[in-house]
Amino acid sequence: MTCYRSRDNWHSYVKRSLSKAELDEMASHLEHCPKCRSVVAGIQKTLDNLAKTQVILSPPADLKINVMKAIDTYRYKENLVSVNSFRLFELRNWGFSMVAAGILLFALNLAALNPGFEGGKMIEFPTKLSKQMTIPFHKISQLANDTLEKIEALSLSKPKVE
């Protein structure tokens, strides 16, 4: 083994975490190389010193209680409420938009695509409200029909490129 290859295994050799074959190879290399032997001795000395002077730190028993007391719960709850109210406002707006879009799609579907739609009346109720409701549907139906006819005319009138 060369010094270049053994350099990667110095710490593993000191901790004895190499395989049996690698440990034997490293030991034979260290017998012949004083430079690597001095480096490994320095690593071993450092690890021994760290093991002797090791200080086990433990936090105070009331650390968690002190941290929890230091948290300003009023400000935390205030931020939480403001975020939740914004989300509720946002969801409420989405809900109204979805209802409006659904009504519009329903109206277009019934008014523009129903071939039996005559005279702007969907259901004949003899009330003033039903007549007011059917007038916009009739206009939507006419507008949708005109638009579809124009699109169809444009698609049929395009010259074919050969």
Q: Name 40's Cβ contacts closer than 8 Å, sequence gap at least 6.
A: 10, 13, 14, 30
The verdict on 68 and 109 lying in the same domain is yes
The verdict on 108 and 150 lying in the same domain is yes
Number of domains in the chain: 2
The answer as to whether 133 is a domain residue is yes
CA pair distance 19, 24, nearest whole angstrom = 9
Tens of pLDDT, residue by residue over 3-43, are 767 777 888 888 888 888 888 888 888 888 888 889 889 98
φ, ψ dihedrals at 36, nearest 5°: -65, -35
Whole-model pTM?
0.34
φ, ψ dihedrals at 153, nearest 5°: -65, -40
The answer as to whether 58 is a domain residue is no
The verdict on 31 and 85 lying in the same domain is no
The verdict on 116 and 145 lying in the same domain is yes
CA 159 and chain centroid, separation: 49
Question: Residue 35's domain spans which residues?
Answer: 3-52
